[in-house]
Structure 1
Amino acid sequence: MLKSLVRLLHFGYHHAMSCIFPVAIFGTLILTSKVELPFIHRYDAILLILLTVQYLMYRSGLETLDEIKVICVFHVIGLVLEIYKIRMGSWAYPDPGYTKLLGVPLYSGFMYASVASYMCQIWRRLKMDMTGWPGLASAGFLGGAIYLNFFTHHFIPDFRWWLTALVVIVFWRTWIIYRVQERTYRMPLTLAFFIVGFFIWIAENIATFLGAWKYPDQHEAWHLVGFSKISSWFLLIIISVIIVAQLKHVKAGRS
């Protein structure tokens, strides 16, 4: 019983440490929503703070250079998606700022990159691995199709549910292997997708409540983000895992 409790605390500790950057984002959103900044726009201040956090994490050894590279990739992926989405009226960043690109504050890419930061951190801390990985061709095609659907569903039918079914098929045999002290555990990868997507949906509700961005129905008053958004985060997590897992496999010398 005591060993199980110690393992649970160990598991919780490493998850907490893996969430340092996401927590920094929420802390910054809370701080800048409560404190009026006289000499700098809020969006600009958030970007400056998050860049400082990333620098300190790297200098302290909490993140490696490879992990910083992955975070940068996700920042770009997220920023491109954000620019497109505000053009389509999906949500908006109404506040002023100098560090905005085509109406999107540059800090917004970090909200996607924080998912990559968590994935990289927890992978390393729990010595994660996978069995039944479908390979680059299948995983890469699926990840590309999911990302493309975020853009194309504005013009053609939304294929998210077909893609979700395809995820189950492609990753049916894929399990996450992770270690907690001397014990080894495993979990179906698709279940991990859903769990992380659900918690990101909770984080999204907190972020919109703090004014990080606003959906069209939140301009007059804040409302709970629809449960259907969990499916969007579920699919976005898959892109994150595909990129991180493939990089880990390549770095380990596997195909």
Structure 2
Amino acid sequence: MRPAKQLVCFGWEQAMSCLFPVVIFVSLALTKIVQLPFLPRYDWLLIICLLMQILMVRSGLETRDELKVITLFHLIGLALELFKVHMGSWAYPEEGYSKIFGVPLYSGFMYASVASYLCQAWRRLKVELIKWPPYGIVVPLASAIYLNFFTHHYWLDVRWILAVLVVIVFWRSWVAYEVNGTWYRMPLALSFVLIGFFIWIAENIATFFSAWEYPNQAEAWSLVHLGKVSSWLLLVIVSFLIVATLKRVKGRTCAE
């Protein structure tokens, strides 16, 4: 029975870490079903996200330092959105007062919710990093991953080369976490894959509720291509680096 109890405890902590993403999904569903008055749907979503962010901080669910990390990832995501929408990778077809160059400002919160999850899970599961590679290697790798999202439109898409480098760089790295007083660990690269896969599932839910649409979804909704998992996997590494840096600065990594 203990393995089942541990799995339930782990699932509960994961669910509590997903409060911000859950609010976004529920808001997407409700605003899709119910037409709210006075403002377009995208603007209501922005207001809901802002209120949720304020509530997270005021209630103590997020610290001010974590808010800085989440805000940084919000800006990183928004920059990516502006470029990708301009290049026609996906679109936000609905109207909205809070749209800039075709991108509604609430979209940045979808990226920020990933960072929110990482911060929450890190604290709740008392995450520690084992054999984390030198920042002199990780930072250039994460930078190359982020830049490739832009440069592959004009040059080669080197995501698979970057994926191989990720495996090499993090081959000896592990993530340790505590569940109900018992410590577990898994290869860090595997955690990237798992988080990327679940974000892909979330992406399918989001596009189903018209958060945005890919070109092949313009006529009717369809599953997001499984290859998007690789994109999310790589983007998770960027967010993971940012959160890991915060925790290291605060003295909460395994180097304590």
TM-score (norm 2): 0.97
Is residue 233 from structure 1 mapped to residue 232 from structure 2 by the alignment?
yes
Instruction: State the distance in 2 between where 1:6 and 1:16 align.
Output: 15
- Sequence identity percentage: 61
Alignment of 1:65-76 (within 5 A): 65-76=64-75
Tell me the equivalent position of 2:11. Answer: 12
Tell me the equivalent position of 1:62. Answer: 61
Alignment of 1:96-135 (within 5 A): 96-135=95-134
State the Cα distance separating 1:92 from its structure 2 match.
0.5
The aligned amino acid for 1:193 is F
State the Cα distance separating 1:204 from its structure 2 match.
0.6
Instruction: State the distance in 2 between where 1:23 and 1:182 align.
Output: 27
Instruction: State the distance in 2 between where 1:11 and 1:228 align.
Output: 28
Is residue 140 from structure 1 mapped to residue 139 from structure 2 by the alignment?
yes
State the Cα distance separating 1:6 from its structure 2 match.
2.9
Alignment of 1:125-204 (within 5 A): 125-204=124-203
Tell me the equivalent position of 1:87. Answer: 86
Instruction: State the distance in 2 between where 1:10 and 1:135 align.
Output: 33
Instruction: State the distance in 2 between where 1:6 and 1:233 align.
Output: 30
Say what the alpha-carbon RMSD is for the aligned residues: 1.2
Instruction: State the distance in 2 between where 1:102 and 1:19 align.
Output: 30
Q: Deviations over 1:175-223 (max 9, x none)?
A: 0010112211100011000111111111111111110001111111111
Is residue 247 from structure 1 mapped to residue 246 from structure 2 by the alignment?
yes
Gap runs ≥5 in structure 2 = none
Segment of structure 1 superposing worse, 6-15 or 190-199 = 6-15
Gap runs ≥5 in structure 1 = none
Q: Is the 8 A contact 1:131 1:175 kept in 2?
A: yes
Q: Deviations over 1:151-177 (max 9, x none)?
A: 000010100000000000111111001
Q: Deviations over 1:120-162 (max 9, x none)?
A: 0000001001111112111101100000000000010100000
Instruction: State the distance in 1 between where 2:72 and 2:249 align.
Output: 17
Instruction: State the distance in 1 between where 2:91 and 2:4 align.
Output: 44
The aligned amino acid for 1:65 is R
Instruction: State the distance in 1 between where 2:167 and 2:3 align.
Output: 31
Segment of structure 1 superposing worse, 165-174 or 55-64 = 55-64
SS at 1:186 equivalent: strand
SS at 2:220 equivalent: coil
Instruction: State the distance in 2 between where 1:242 and 1:153 align.
Output: 22
Segment of structure 1 superposing worse, 162-171 or 214-223 = 214-223
Runs of 4+ aligned residues of structure 1 deviating over 6 Å after TM superposition are none
Tell me the equivalent position of 2:28. Answer: 29
Segment of structure 1 superposing worse, 227-236 or 242-251 = 242-251
Q: Is the 8 A contact 1:136 1:246 kept in 2?
A: no
The aligned amino acid for 2:190 is L
SS at 2:171 equivalent: coil
Instruction: State the distance in 2 between where 1:80 and 1:203 align.
Output: 21
The aligned amino acid for 2:21 is P
Instruction: State the distance in 2 between where 1:92 and 1:194 align.
Output: 26
